[in-house]
Structure 1
């Protein structure tokens, strides 16, 4: 489905938690002020960030689409380190052009440690160290020293005598047993254990550093997609390097390669980069089937939270098909939408673009956004993970990556209608007018052919309940152009059902 409303502020989050809600324009790092916990894209970790963990909740601010602001459903609808619109919490992306809003939230402000990086702050990780004031010397200093020396000598003598007596009179018969070889290299980890999965997957993950021509940028994660040197990551991870910037990818063994962007999809928040002079022994990670994932399945996330490369965390699948919208909060940013896999595996800024694995080690998603607590927000406070992370399902990401490798441009499914981004319509309402004064229902498009009209409220897409425009867009984008879907909508209080074939839109603009 196409979002012809792209370019609009990120819509308010749908009622379903943690559906992204449009948040008032704030600083790129600002968190949504509305009630509820904002979700934002996991922002890339700014270069030079101290090893101390930065905020994992991507501080990406979400541009909120004002009520009534239309947004195309799906890329054709009128309506990229380290994931959503805000009135209600918007997912922070650890990551494209969604409906017509953009997905990747802006990189979070450099995490502050205490009173700023390295500054003194109460209890802050980066609080400056103050050398204790020297204790006043007293006339008894020499005496104290002599007494201490005497005590140490006596203590040493007593200790020596005690050891000798104990050695000569040891009748306890107590013995200890040492393993023949307890070195980590000799321990066998059975297939399926977290240690085994991590050992096999880590060599195929990279820490990505993106830098713009002005020197700004951040750190994210990616994983080997094929033997030709293609690496898949989030669009918001590499966004700074899109226009002539610099990209590097570093493997866990320390080998570092320059890279170039092959293609990026802002709406999907997916990007593909390629290593220059790629090694011949690359081992692509196996891709799983995200459609078969079940709530409760174990998950393993790999990334570089706050710049801490090669970090492994675990959890479970907390929910599926979670509507999530996110944006980097910049003026030129468009919203990204996804029907996400929700996980409680710890994800933080810098995890963006990293793989979410199942218990067998297969990739089932790309870590992209996190829910932010209202107290910490996504801005300068950069609170950490609260157990609400979101990943782009790998089935969708695989399709997008293949299109980017093939043509360099993303292809979006669309219904050809502009929908409201409000979260109080009880569905996705087709607006009276499209963006820029265009028709709300594209003439000759899928929606038009199916008989849909302005004012109709779409409540279901196949068997999935639609509670808002962003939810509809995310669901449409899980499909491919040409797919047939069943749309349930209300008109004048009556419910209707119609089948339609999704159209297509090429590119983010």
Structure 2
């Protein structure tokens, strides 16, 4: 699939054009704060867009449900005392008791209003009784001895956080029209930092960037290169040395259910650590490019890692790491339950976060740091975003084939339905785009396709070509 006009899902079709009000996916942000800052709109299932939070706080709120006020009860959440006259209750007269018991009651009442007399009487009524167990008090227990508070058990979340936090930064972007915050990971000791394209470009042209490091120090930063197709960017912090680069892992052997840790700056809270698992792999997530300088002709489709680790606005560009503290993904987007233009503009984590796999991020970051631009794989076909109603076979229907492109040379004709790339099932046009872009130019893949009725299945080998990303710099 080409990544020019022929490699994108057909404009105006499918979930992206229907703008459904539910099942949204949002970039977990650069946070535009000005009133004129770009904001994402609603879209259909599987789509995403850039968003952040505004000058009065996050465009995101949580409904609060305070206890209902009860004029007869000044302490919400607690029952009114027995015999409250406002409730029509009656205060029962105390039962008649022997005179000796009555003296004890009178002594307690005196203790509430008179410290001297109460003390004497109290001593009388609390005289040690050998039949009662001894009283213990937690406040009188000694403080525990701490030999080394910074030591965490190997493999624990504490150990991962201690290792990774120095390699994760907050990124502040500001211009005359917008400002926002995101996260990034340190690639080199002299200040190369990987983040999302929608973070680095969130302030528009001529925006100023500032990096806030884990120790609280700051440095100005400049853009090295950005790729709107993969939604990745590399920036360079000025005048820094001796930084702690993050350790790169691999996303090739990830397993569903594997424990992960997300680190970033949600809502401007630097160094926030959350935990979860890998919920799913190879999720095709579409971001709209709104809120960034991405070309309208580019459809950022992420072949994402899905996680339930809490990711919120400001986490974009931050680290998703495994139990050894190795980078496995760049946190990029979250799903929400409603449109982004309600309740202050955005909602927070519902346990559906998405990250760019590190294997793709490593290749793109290397190209951006060396040339300022990135390339991506293409197969040379145009596909429909949604399944044709007349189409019986589940998959990506091929609308057009680029002459002399990779698919044409492999003999793939228009009108067929692609059902598989290698061993990966394809159930939509976006899934095909994500699968192709997860490869490198020059990779050989096996493409399985059928006719619209699901018959005459064939598998051919296709050598993917490469093209520079539009809008990159």
Alpha-carbon distance in 2 for matches of 1:47, 1:170: 68
| 1:476 aligned to which of 428, 436, 451 | 436
When residues 442 and 178 of structure 1 are mapped into structure 2, their CA distance, relative to the original with a 3 A threshold, is same
TM-fit CA distance, 1:491 = 3.4
Alpha-carbon distance in 2 for matches of 1:399, 1:124: 48
Where does 1:30-429 land on structure 2 (aligned, <5 Å)? Answer: 32-34=19-21, 36-47=22-33, 60-61=40-41, 86-87=43-44, 89-92=45-48, 105-108=49-52, 110=54, 123=64, 154=113, 156-157=115-116, 172=134, 174=136, 177-182=141-146, 186=149, 188-212=151-175, 214-241=176-203, 243-278=205-240, 280-329=241-290, 333=296, 334-374=298-338, 380-424=344-388, 426-429=394-397
TM-fit CA distance, 1:486 = 0.5
Alpha-carbon distance in 2 for matches of 1:299, 1:289: 13
Counterpart for residue 422 of structure 2 = 462
Alpha-carbon distance in 2 for matches of 1:376, 1:159: 63
SS of the equivalent of 1:494 reads coil
Matched-pair contact (CA < 8 Å) for 1:45–1:110: yes
Alpha-carbon distance in 2 for matches of 1:303, 1:38: 22
TM-fit CA distance, 1:108 = 4.0
When residues 4 and 170 of structure 1 are mapped into structure 2, their CA distance, relative to the original with a 3 A threshold, is farther
When residues 209 and 156 of structure 1 are mapped into structure 2, their CA distance, relative to the original with a 3 A threshold, is farther
Alpha-carbon distance in 2 for matches of 1:235, 1:457: 33
Q: Superposition RMSD on alpha carbons, in Å? A: 3.5
Q: Which runs of 5+ in 2 are unaligned?
A: 67-108
Matched-pair contact (CA < 8 Å) for 2:448–2:458: yes
TM-fit CA distance, 1:441 = 2.3
Alpha-carbon distance in 2 for matches of 1:247, 1:499: 45
TM-score (norm 1): 0.72
Larger RCO (CA within 8 A; separation ≥ 6): 1
TM-fit CA distance, 1:242 = 5.4
Where does 1:426-441 land on structure 2 (aligned, <5 Å)? Answer: 426-431=394-399, 440-441=400-401
After TM superposition, the structure 1 stretch with the greater mean CA deviation from structure 2, 378-387 or 359-368, is 378-387
TM-fit CA distance, 1:422 = 2.2
Matched-pair contact (CA < 8 Å) for 2:445–2:461: yes
Counterpart for residue 77 of structure 1 = none
When residues 248 and 459 of structure 1 are mapped into structure 2, their CA distance, relative to the original with a 3 A threshold, is same
| Higher CA-based Rg | 2
Alpha-carbon distance in 1 for matches of 2:117, 2:253: 69
Matched-pair contact (CA < 8 Å) for 2:10–2:384: no
TM-fit CA distance, 1:465 = 1.0
When residues 170 and 44 of structure 1 are mapped into structure 2, their CA distance, relative to the original with a 3 A threshold, is farther
Alpha-carbon distance in 2 for matches of 1:494, 1:348: 46
Counterpart for residue 505 of structure 1 = 467
TM-fit CA distance, 1:157 = 4.5
Alpha-carbon distance in 2 for matches of 1:483, 1:328: 27
Matched-pair contact (CA < 8 Å) for 1:37–1:374: yes
Is 2:451 the partner of 1:491? Answer: yes
Alpha-carbon distance in 2 for matches of 1:7, 1:318: 27
When residues 205 and 463 of structure 1 are mapped into structure 2, their CA distance, relative to the original with a 3 A threshold, is same
SS of the equivalent of 1:240 reads coil
Matched-pair contact (CA < 8 Å) for 1:2–1:412: no
